[in-house]
Amino acid sequence: MAANNDVLSWTNQDPRESQLFNTWGVLYRFSTVVSTSGQSTTTLWRAVRTNREDRVAKLEWASNGGLGRAVIGKNAVPMADLVRPDPRYPGARIFNAPDGLQYRWRPSSSSPDVVLEDSAGTAVAFFRPTRPTRYQIGDVYGELHFLRNAGAATITHPPIMDTVTVTAMLYRFCQAFGL
């Protein structure tokens, strides 16, 4: 982990059933269950210390498998609000974060990365697809980089970092399933 860049390795091609980890261990874990009625729900867990996780988000998928409702902390929003297409940039998705500002995930023009920009257009995080690499925790398909000192330098604070992780997962889901 570089001093100004926190990197989380992201397991699994399906982001709904994946883990994000670094040298410390698993930091985030997406776990999906399907009820007897067929309702699919993904829960995002954040490690707070060894053997202790807090639920930070619950994603209730639509009955057709598409975007449904997200509950992040105490706020419920349509998932579509977290990955709104940005008409100014092909493939870009925007969302409003807990800090009240708008952020944008967009494909990089110079690499396979997907860049997260803050409201001023400063890159504050990015997702980098990687060749599948086997780790004890699972096969890694990408890395989520948090640029700790970029922009307002709040990207690694839990409410923002949690929202970034959820929106990165939803962005990957939308890209994988053409939504």
The pLDDT tens digits for 113-148 are: 999 999 999 999 999 999 999 999 899 999 999 998
Q: Supply the pLDDT for residue 26.
A: 92
Count of domains forming the chain: 1
| Domain housing 128 | 7-177
Give the residue-averaged pLDDT of 144-164: 83
Query: Is the pLDDT reported for residue 1 higher than 60?
Result: no
In this structure, is residue 1 part of a structural domain?
Answer: no
Give the residue-averaged pLDDT of 2-20: 84
> By CB neighbour count within 10 A (0-12 exposed, 13-18 middle, 19+ buried), where does 38 fall?
exposed
In this structure, is residue 127 part of a structural domain?
Answer: yes
Q: Supply the pLDDT for residue 46.
A: 94
In this structure, is residue 19 part of a structural domain?
Answer: yes
User: Would you place residue 3 in the very low, low, confident or very high pLDDT band (cuts 50, 70, 90)?
Assistant: very low
Query: Is the pLDDT reported for residue 150 higher than 90?
Result: no
> By CB neighbour count within 10 A (0-12 exposed, 13-18 middle, 19+ buried), where does 146 fall?
buried
CB distance 99 to 89 below 8 Å? no
In this structure, is residue 52 part of a structural domain?
Answer: yes
Query: Is the pLDDT reported for residue 155 higher than 80?
Result: no
Q: φ, ψ for residue 73 (rounded to 5)?
A: 65, -120
In this structure, is residue 140 part of a structural domain?
Answer: yes
User: Would you place residue 94 in the very low, low, confident or very high pLDDT band (cuts 50, 70, 90)?
Assistant: very high
Q: How far apart are the first and last CA of the chain?
A: 33
CB distance 123 to 105 below 8 Å? no
What are the tens digits of pLDDT across the range 19-76? 999 988 899 999 999 999 888 999 999 998 888 999 999 999 998 889 999 999 888 9
CB distance 71 to 58 below 8 Å? yes
In this structure, is residue 78 part of a structural domain?
Answer: yes
Query: Is the pLDDT reported for residue 154 higher than 80?
Result: no
Q: How many residues does the chain have?
A: 179
In this structure, is residue 162 part of a structural domain?
Answer: yes
> Which pTM does this prediction carry?
0.91
Q: CB under 8 Å, gap of 24 or more: what pairs does 22-30 form?
A: 25/50, 26/137, 28/165, 29/53, 30/169
Give the residue-averaged pLDDT of 86-96: 95
In this structure, is residue 2 part of a structural domain?
Answer: no
